[in-house]
Amino acid sequence: MNKKLLTTYTIIAFIFLYLPITVLIVFSFNKDKISSSWSGFTLDWYYKLFQNTDLLNSLQTSIFIAIFSSLISVVLGTFTSYALYKFDFKGKVAFQSLLQYPIITPDIVIGIGLLIFFVLINFTLGFFSVLIAHISFTMAYTTLIISTRFNGIDKNIEDAAIDLGATPFKAFRFAVIPSIMPGIIAAFLISFIISWDDFIVSFFTSGVGTTTLPVKVYSMIKMGVNPQINAISTLLLMTSLISTFIVIKFQNNVTG
């Protein structure tokens, strides 16, 4: 394919993807409440955003769920990865394959499946239902990332620590964990981003009084595009970009 033509296609694709996001960011600073024309620069929408109790409560819910689900997923993912790294057992390949299903399964299938499951066991929809739902799919990502790090360390490092007098627990804590720490941090950050941005699974598994920020923004859009939505979307975007930048940094350490 002609190089100029390929370059043109690439530029058009980037414009198509990022122009709407750029417009959203620009109009979050627009004085006019109707996002159809530019009428001057203002930070009022950000000021009003932080006075919006409902949005702040949703933001707090999203932060707590993202942090707790990421922490639990990292712990579970670390021990699962360690078991896969350390032991050979019957059905290991099948188990590794099953761990990948939450990654390739459509979110709407996961959301509906979890909703039906919670209803069947009479589990009240709320904070903990969303937390469990997020753990159920973020654990697949943390396990995959941490397993990659395990595959890159010397398998004799733990045995060497035990030979030097460490207990198996101390060998794991002081020899293995530091070796995989870049993978653990990267797994936590990726899990946080996925949980933070999730809408579909949260929509199906959240109950009355527990609304994550993406679900809240969706409900606000039904009433029309409020400039506060542009402001909160810009903050969400910045959070994701910063987290992704940190993830890339630690991923370089994982693969390096």
pLDDT at 161: 81
CA dihedral 23, 27, 32, 38 (to 10 degrees): -50
Q: Which pLDDT tens digit goes with each residue over 25-54?
A: 888 888 877 666 777 788 888 888 888 888
pLDDT at 36: 65
What stretches in the chain show pLDDT beneath 70? 1, 34-36, 224-225, 247, 249-256
Name the residue ranges covered by the structural domains of the chain.
1-42, 43-255
pLDDT at 193: 86
3-state SS track over the chain: CCHHHHHHHHHHHHHHHHHHHHHHHHHCCECCCCCCCCCCECCHHHHHHCCCHHHHHHHHHHHHHHHHHHHHHHHHHHHHHHHHHHCCCCCHHHHHHHHHHHHHCCHHHHHHHHHHHHHHCCCCCCHHHHHHHHHHHHHHHHHHHHHHHHCCCCCCHHHHHHHCCCCHHHHHHHHHHHHHHHHHHHHHHHHHHHHHHCCHHHHHHCCCCCCCHHHHHHHHHCCCCCHHHHHHHHHHHHHHHHHHHHHHHHHHHHHC
CATH of the domain spanning 43-255 = 1.10.3720.10
CA dihedral 102, 105, 106, 107 (to 10 degrees): -20
